[in-house]
Amino acid sequence: MQLNETAIGDKVRISELKLENAMLKRRLLALGCDEGCEICIKQKGLFGGPCTFETKGQYISIRQCDACAIMVERR
């Protein structure tokens, strides 16, 4: 399942990062978002707006098209 398909409040685990944008992938890895990391969806923007999630006490927002490239699984 893709990150953008999850509902607000869902707690999921990252199973795979398929990001083509190397800068974004490096940023997420620097913030501790790697495969196996648990995240909680906090907010989703309307009309394809940004997706905000929490991991390890910090909030991260990414574009909806980038959220499509993050594969997650339910805990």
pLDDT digits (tens, 9 = 90+) for 41-55: 999 998 889 999 999
pLDDT digits (tens, 9 = 90+) for 12-42: 999 999 999 999 999 999 999 999 999 999 9
Classify residue 29 by its DSSP letter: H
Query: In this structure, what token pair is assigned to residue 10?
Result: 């869902």
Classify residue 49 by its DSSP letter: -
Residue 31: domain span: 3-74
The domain tally of the chain equals: 1
Give the domain CATH number at 12.
2.30.30.90
In degrees, rounded to 5, the angle at the alpha carbon of residue 17 between the alpha carbons of residues 26 and 74 is 130
Q: Is 9 a residue whose pLDDT tops 90?
A: yes
